[in-house]
Chain A
Amino acid sequence: MIKFLLKGLIRDRHRSLFPILSISIGVTLTVLMQAWVTGILGDMIDFNARFTTGHTKVITRAYSENMQQMASDLAIVGVDELTDDLEKEFPNMNWINRIRFGGLIDIPDESGITKSQGPVVGWGINILTDNGSDIERMNLQKAMRAGKIPTKSGEILMSDELAEKLNVKVGDDATFLGSTMFGSMAMQNFVIVGIVHFGTTALDKGAIIIDFKDAQEVLNMENATSEILGYLPSGKYNNELASEIANDFNSKYSNSEDEFSPKMLTLSEQNDLKSMLEYMDSIIGIIIFVFIFAMSIVLWNIGLIGGLRRYGEIGLRLAIGESKGAVYRKMIYESVLIGLFGSLFGTIIGLGFSYLLQTKGLDLSSMMQNTSMMIQSVYRAKITPLTFYIGFIPGLFSTIIGTALAGIGIYKRQTAQLFRELEN
């Protein structure tokens, strides 16, 4: 029967071409949207995890009240002991210390007089410590635009836009000015050994990266850190697992009476990422629903027009004895075939576009000149296993629903009038 239906569809292009085209376009859009949304949101979450939030983050309760201030006076003290405890309690997690701080960077001229000055956000990360684990995590090798990664204490990396603004190059000296953990003036000379481009405007505009130990030294944070980030062994964020770990930790270590007691937050509890995760979960469903709804109406219309065009054919089939149910069912079978072909073509085209966006990406940096959010400026789609079959769900459902609605008209035909209608 499939062969018979296929022959009918191929020979009568009015029945196949336009519906297949419509479905292909819709499925292409669905596939592309799914890959695009998954890519953008996934990248955002991954980017935040690697740079700021971790999958979990341990901070003091006081620090958590206003994390954006990066107040080093509210840091965790006794960090070596706490990290040991974390490693014992949650051995599968990767725990790393980070210090985030704000201040001013001052560039001297040959005589030591200020040549240029600007505000900076600083990151004390594991470059020389912990086998340089943050070099890979923060993609520093790829981000390098000039120079090299620090190999000894007193060396820093500077973001490219800041370097341009301050008119500095690799090898120049820079003095950091800020506040120590105790509020005193922190002043330290560094040598700029590398210029980096992170691909996020908030960082590229004004960031310096130094080794964690250097940050501890400059900010007078002996055995202290502002944050301990935890990463799940899979490398992928799992909200359920992260929440379980955070709850376990908080029940043992956090004390609401002590503002300097540690507190563990999950990724979703930081940077408003909870809503983003929920949005990510629901957006795919919304896309499919909207597509099924819209395409069903389009295909219902196509079905109605087709029904009018095939009025005579259906009337004849009914007149020669084919039951209304059989005609209706065959129309549904036809729609399944049309849906399958449309979905297949649409998926292939959608995958092609998605692959292009996955490899090339879309650079929106010019639209994000003034953003201070931790988001990347090049957006990429991401092809996942779901991308390969998601288009078939709306592709098939919309054609079946559309045909089923249009085909109801068959049951309204009066057998007694069929021949009279055919005579006309």
Chain B
Amino acid sequence: MKKILILILMTIVFINAQTPSAEMILEKIDENMTSENQVVTSKMIIHGRRASRIIESKSWSVGDSKNFTEYLSPAREQGTKMLKIDDNLWIYTPSTDRIIKISGHMLKQSVMGSDLSYEDMMESQELTENYDAKVTGTTVIDEVNCWVINLIGKVDNLAYHKRKIWVDKNKYIPLREELYAKNGKLLKRMELKDIKNINGRWYPTKMIFKDMLKRGQGTEFVIDDIKFDQNIPEYKFSKAGLKR
């Protein structure tokens, strides 16, 4: 009997020792996905209530703080550029030849009619700073073993008070994420698919976003090309760069 009890206790200790802390998992995700900078060519396939459409763009980003996006097609969007520096977002369209700062309620608007808002684009990915994280269990998604992490906001004014992330146990890649309001209402759902090894990093090349408050079939974000640690000129992240 004593032996069985010791065995059970040892098993529990062993299992707990196998479960890393949520902070550690999130750090590992950052290690895997964050690079000094990246250049991404992608397309957004927006499945609206009426029809679907494809918007192509190219983005240059440095960490979470700087991002420059230029829309390549369709013709109406071609030449539209967006610049994000820290908490500021500017937009430029060739038809107006003006640079306008997006602020206030406009940040809640959808980006190009997709299921993503400007606010989503502005959000810092450093989750451990804003959320208390806890591993709440394990599950299997598409035959992949995952940790389930719950994140509860510890600061005010967060766009999403609660998050739930499913993380691949082996590759430390989030496979699914759900974003909730303070009242517990599910606001957005993300699925990350087609995980590929790019320059030694595991990276999802297809993301499906669904705004749960919006009708439609969601937005697919497909990465056509991604390059890490490139030489990006500093002018790219200046307002003058928007008009170039």
Contacts and interface: CB of A to CB of B under 8 A. Distances in A.
Q: Are the chains A and B members of one assembly? A: yes
B96 A184 contact: no
Contact of B101 (A73, A114, A189): A114
A351 B215 CA distance: 56
A183 B110 contact: yes
Nearest to A184: B112
Interface residues of A, number: 25
A74 B49 CA distance: 9
Nearest to A112: B98
Interface string B71-111: 00000110010000000000101011111111111100110
B100 A114 contact: yes
A183 B98 contact: no
B102 to A, nearest CB: 8
A177 interface: yes
B76 A184 contact: yes
A185 interface: yes
Contact of A182 (B53, B80, B103, B104): B53
Contact of A62 (B49, B104, B106, B110): B49
Nearest to B53: A182
Contacts of B42: none
Interface in B108-125: 109-110, 112-114
Interface string A105-121: 01010001110010100
Interface in A272-305: none
Interface string A58-83: 00001000000000011000000000
A61 B72 CA distance: 34
A220 B114 CA distance: 16
Contacts of B105: 119
A183 B115 CA distance: 10
A78 to B, nearest CB: 12
B49 A185 contact: no
Contact of A177 (B46, B50, B106, B113): B106
Given A62-B49, A177-B106, A185 B114 contact: no
Contacts of A184: 55, 76-77, 112-113
A346 B67 CA distance: 76
A220 B49 contact: no
Interface string B30-50: 000000000000000010111
Contacts of B76: 180, 184, 220
B127 to A, nearest CB: 28
Contacts of B113: 73, 179-180, 182-184
Interface in B6-57: 46, 48-50, 53, 55
B100 A175 contact: yes
A187 B114 contact: no
A73 B101 CA distance: 24
A182 B98 contact: no
A183 B100 contact: no
B96 A260 contact: no
Contacts of B50: 73, 260
B80 A185 contact: yes
A108 B55 CA distance: 29
A104 interface: yes
Interface in A178-199: 179-180, 182-185, 187-189
Contact of A187 (B48, B98, B112): B98
Contacts of B55: 184
B108 to A, nearest CB: 12
A180 B106 CA distance: 14
B101 A185 contact: no
A168 to B, nearest CB: 15
A106 B100 contact: yes
A345 to B, nearest CB: 58
B99 to A, nearest CB: 7
Contacts of B109: 179
A104 B106 contact: yes
Given A179-B109, A182-B53, A184-B77, A189 B46 contact: no
Interface in B129-182: none
A117 B100 CA distance: 10
B106 A183 contact: no
B110 A189 contact: no
Contacts of B91: 177, 185, 187
6 contacts: A73-B50, A117-B103, A177-B102, A185-B91, A187-B93, A188-B95
Interface of A: 62, 73-74, 104, 106, 108, 112-114, 117, 119, 175, 177, 179-180, 182-185, 187-189, 220, 259-260
Given A117-B103, A179-B113, A184-B55, 6 more contacts: A73-B49, A175-B98, A182-B113, A185-B91, A220-B76, A260-B50
Top 5 A-B pairs ranked by shortest CB distance?
A: A183-B113, A187-B93, A189-B96, A187-B96, A184-B112
